[in-house]
């Protein structure tokens, strides 16, 4: 059997179960805290399995035998890809693994904004910036719900043709709310760093900005100014500049309707899928078939959420969404973090993400409506909920 030496981040879901046994290989697995993943720790490693907290670059990998790197996250902007390519180090991410979790986060946000009266569903126009796996999936659900959807994705528009896509200027002029779902890139034609800055925000005719992509896709200082400029401007952020210690004035702004600590994709099922994608990428590189069963790492889902009778279908599905995912809990924790002394905020932000309360995918837990009407069941199904009907 071939020996394979793996170093992996300790906070990857089921990391020991997944990476301790790979067909046809004798595995030597070291599981480390991210701050302990150093060049010295990789002196005798063939494979690195990491998360976004580890910068994978020359400083980390020079003079190491590492030949394969995977991140158990959907984004890989912490990889210096040019360096990895020059070194011939194969790299992979978990793109697509937590799409469902992020979409459920977004739908919970939209329903919450609707119930607060700052957004009217389905009579709203949403501008989605970045129509990849997550943005595309969100667009499909929003269209099913009856929203008008505007898509901005210049790389896709060039590949597929302009039909069906809008320029950023058109989104700024026509959308009621903007939702970002792009990677963070600093260079090139489609750089997304500060994609929404002071100039773009000044021309936005809508009132709501949501970011569940990467923090620096929005100039957070400019966003603070935009909120201050008009009491009818609102924001929802899951991703922040300067994580893990974002600007507390932005976090605590009264028009920051929901502030969460980069956990949109953190359902337990999403975390398991992150590990599965990274594990499968390693198996493909090795030319072996996966042997780990992801399902064994997941507990039985909780009992279905029971939702009281409501005369308003939108109210009913909102109650279902916040029962399945109590987003206010994450907002309240973020506010608590922002009130801590500056020296403690970063650690508290990171600690909450690493020890995030269990949240299950909507299709795993399910909902039961008491005396539901047909429209409520229809909306819940369109949202992706598993509706459990009452037995006679």
- Residue 232: DSSP 8-state: T
CA pseudo-torsion sign 17, 18, 21, 23: positive
CA distance 107 to 333: 20
CA distance 373 to 387: 12
Residue found under tokens 């969404």: 321
Helix and strand tally (H, E) in the chain? 16, 13
Which pair of tokens denotes residue 204?
Answer: 């936005």
HSE-up of 164 (CA within 13 Å, CB side)? 13
CA distance 72 to 9: 9
**Residue 82: what are its φ and ψ, rounded to 5°?**
-60, -45
* Catalytic pick among 13, 91, 243, 266: 243
* Interacting residues of 334 by C-beta distance below 8 A, sequence separation 6+: 251, 259, 260, 261
CA distance 220 to 335: 17
CA distance 111 to 127: 16
Which pair of tokens denotes residue 94?
Answer: 């978990």
Active site residue 243: yes
Active site residue 214: yes
Phi-psi region of 88 (alpha: psi -120 to 50; beta: other; left: phi over 0): left
* Catalytic pick among 214, 253, 266, 318: 214
CA distance 199 to 127: 17
* Catalytic pick among 11, 13, 262, 333: 262
**Residues designated as active site:** 214, 243, 262
């Amino acid at each position: 059997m071939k020996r394979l030496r793996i170093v992996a981040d300790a906070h990857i879901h089921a990391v020991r179960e997944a990476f301790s046994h790979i067909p046809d290989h004798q595995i030597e697995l070291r599981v480390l805290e991210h701050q302990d993943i150093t060049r010295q720790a990789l002196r005798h490693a063939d494979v690195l399995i990491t998360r976004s907290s580890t910068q994978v670059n020359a400083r980390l990998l020079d003079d190491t035998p590492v030949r394969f790197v995977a991140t158990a996250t959907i984004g890989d902007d912490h990889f210096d890809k040019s360096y990895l390519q020059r070194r011939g180090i194969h790299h992979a991410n978990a793109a697509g693994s937590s799409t469902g979790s992020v979409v459920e986060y977004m739908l919970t946000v939209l329903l919450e904004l609707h119930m607060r009266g700052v957004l009217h569903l389905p009579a709203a126009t949403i501008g989605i910036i970045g129509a990849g796996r997550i943005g595309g999936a969100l667009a499909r659900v929003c269209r099913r719900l009856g929203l008008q959807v505007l898509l901005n994705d210049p790389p896709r528009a060039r590949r597929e043709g302009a039909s069906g896509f809008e320029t950023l200027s058109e989104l700024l002029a026509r959308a009621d709310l903007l939702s970002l779902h792009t990677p963070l890139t600093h260079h090139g034609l489609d750089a997304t760093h500060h994609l929404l800055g002071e100039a773009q925000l000044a021309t936005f005719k809508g009132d709501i900005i949501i970011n569940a992509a990467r923090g620096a896709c929005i100039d957070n200082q400019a966003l603070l100014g935009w909120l201050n400029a008009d009491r009818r401007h609102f924001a929802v952020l899951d991703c922040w500049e300067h994580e893990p210690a974002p600007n507390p004035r932005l976090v605590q702004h009264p028009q920051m309707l929901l502030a969460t600590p980069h956990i949109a994709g953190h359902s337990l099922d999403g975390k398991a899928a992150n590990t599965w994608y990274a594990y499968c990428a390693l198996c493909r590189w090795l030319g072996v078939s996966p042997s780990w069963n992801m399902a064994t790492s997941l507990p039985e889902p909780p009992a279905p959420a029971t939702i009281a009778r409501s005369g308003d279908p939108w109210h009913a599905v909102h109650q279902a969404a916040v029962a399945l995912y109590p987003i206010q809990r994450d907002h309240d924790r973020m506010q608590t973090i922002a009130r801590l002394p500056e020296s403690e905020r970063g650690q508290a932000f990171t600690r909450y993400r690493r020890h995030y309360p269990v949240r299950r995918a909507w299709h795993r837990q399910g909902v039961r409506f008491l005396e539901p009407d047909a429209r409520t069941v229809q909306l819940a199904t369109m949202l992706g909920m598993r509706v459990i009907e009452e037995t006679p």
